[in-house]
Chain A
């Protein structure tokens, strides 16, 4: 089978031409760097994404603190992880990198703060 994908690993956004059978990659072209081939393979087997959102912050100079995952998770799990993020709440102060949810849903990634917020 053939598929055209846009690699999302960097702003180059290479257009990848993939030839594959099932989850087996036969060839990848159009990538400017070797990461593209890995991305294509991942995308065919189990697409992974990182997400960013915010969690409730108590007593901070802002009502929210922004968060992201320390690594990508399976695309199919995004909404489940969002449900966890929605439930979470932290107390100010918060520093960049503070773990808000450790090993979220056992997916091997933490939800971490991406902003420093002081106490109100």
Chain B
């Protein structure tokens, strides 16, 4: 890490990776530092996986602007980075006249934000689009989509890496110093990095990084959202996301049901302010509440369909006493920290807004210095082949070309050895069990790795030359084995 970077991005979530990719369009030497062992490990991977339309945020806010823009420009980014998504549209369902009034004002807000096509629809419309979803009427948002947040983030990161961005993992930032020449020295758990610019995309840690830059006025309030994931068996019953009328106070969108691209259903998230920004626990009371609330708009939530629960944490700028949404902070504070772009409180709709946010980062830098385009920038990234989506003829051909496609590792999701190897060997390849899971879906099915995790552990150790005691599940310290039996 001896050399000097032009830009150092702190944090390898969706915003950090998007920023790195956007910056790699210019002639800059760029690095990303990440405290975890992989990209996409916190808020970016733990959310509803929805590309929002942008009607939930107040007109004139960055949230509203970037969300609408992120939605309308997504087709291009998805084409460039081969990101799976589906414009399912979304229903926000209501029951009472009070709900109707709220939906009307939500629609008006959306229209003010520049969204086209939203309308209030009757029960017959719901029956046609999603007959199993409850509600007497609804707001229909045609541009809402479901996407893979994993592939979105990996796409950005891999393309950035392909365009010369360097990634440093297990490198939590501990201090930032700036010398007389204006060069930053960023101290991390794995060494020091020198850079001309710092971009704070540290998500849940962005208040701390901001303070290290000298901008010490922000405090984040971690706000946990828990989810259930349901078995694919009932996936067909929910073709699109179904939300309740949002409660403005809580700063969440209410317990909703979202189909995933792979055919599961997610129920959640709750809205609970917590003390730690890394406590992803699920709690009994909230788990029960999810079922109760979720059942109001989708009354088919049976315990036998639950395959997993998980939680994500929102980095909220508003304290619990105020609640609601605080607009994104995206700023350059030349008087305190010149040559730094400071992002704090990037919560929902951060996933949808990631690309417009990264364009704003570039704009803020280009106000200070001229950025020259990188003539070698390649915008294209290809995702690994997904065997199970292919016809039998194509599958036969794949196996002929590469016999690893003939070895099914994950039975529930039909993930082959070729895909597991692609997850490990690919650019910024997986080093952890979760990294493999997020990249290729192995272990995400109903048996939750009961069949395949032992084989994946073996492949991962062999490919990466990892000793048994060093193999980790997700985060540092999450060792799987205490050693060998013999």
Contact = CB atoms under 8 A, between A and B. Distances in A.
Interface of A: 54-56, 63-64, 86, 89
B454 to A, nearest CB: 13
Nearest to B484: A63
Contacts of B486: 54-56, 63-64, 86, 89
A104 B485 CA distance: 20
A63 to B, nearest CB: 7
Given A64-B486, A89-B486, 8 more contacts: A54-B485, A54-B486, A55-B486, A56-B486, A63-B484, A63-B486, A64-B485, A86-B486
Interface in B111-156: none
10 contacts: A54-B485, A54-B486, A55-B486, A56-B486, A63-B484, A63-B486, A64-B485, A64-B486, A86-B486, A89-B486
Contacts of B485: 54, 64
A89 B485 CA distance: 13
A56 B485 CA distance: 9
Contacts of A63: 484, 486
Interface in B434-486: 484-486
Contacts of B484: 63
B194 to A, nearest CB: 46
A54 B485 CA distance: 9
A21 to B, nearest CB: 44
Nearest to A65: B486
Contacts, number: 10
B468 to A, nearest CB: 11
A86 B484 CA distance: 12
A86 B486 CA distance: 7
B429 to A, nearest CB: 25
Contacts of A89: 486
Interface of B: 484-486
7 interchain residue pairs of minimum CB distance: A56-B486, A64-B486, A54-B485, A54-B486, A55-B486, A64-B485, A86-B486
A8 to B, nearest CB: 25
Nearest to A63: B486
A89 B486 CA distance: 9
Nearest to B486: A56
A114 to B, nearest CB: 15
A84 to B, nearest CB: 13
A51 B485 CA distance: 16
A115 B485 CA distance: 17
Contacts of A86: 486
A63 B484 CA distance: 10
Contacts of A56: 486
Contacts of A54: 485-486
A102 to B, nearest CB: 20
A8 B20 CA distance: 65
Nearest to A55: B486
A14 to B, nearest CB: 34
A36 B486 CA distance: 37
Nearest to A64: B486
Contacts of A64: 485-486
A63 B468 CA distance: 13
A23 B33 CA distance: 71
A54 B486 CA distance: 8
A21 B484 CA distance: 46
A25 to B, nearest CB: 40
B461 to A, nearest CB: 12
A43 B382 CA distance: 67
A89 B484 CA distance: 14
B466 to A, nearest CB: 16
A67 to B, nearest CB: 11
A56 B486 CA distance: 6
B417 to A, nearest CB: 18
A86 B485 CA distance: 9
A95 to B, nearest CB: 20
B348 to A, nearest CB: 47
A63 B485 CA distance: 10
Nearest to A87: B486
A55 B484 CA distance: 12
Contacts of A55: 486
B332 to A, nearest CB: 57
B482 to A, nearest CB: 15
A65 to B, nearest CB: 10
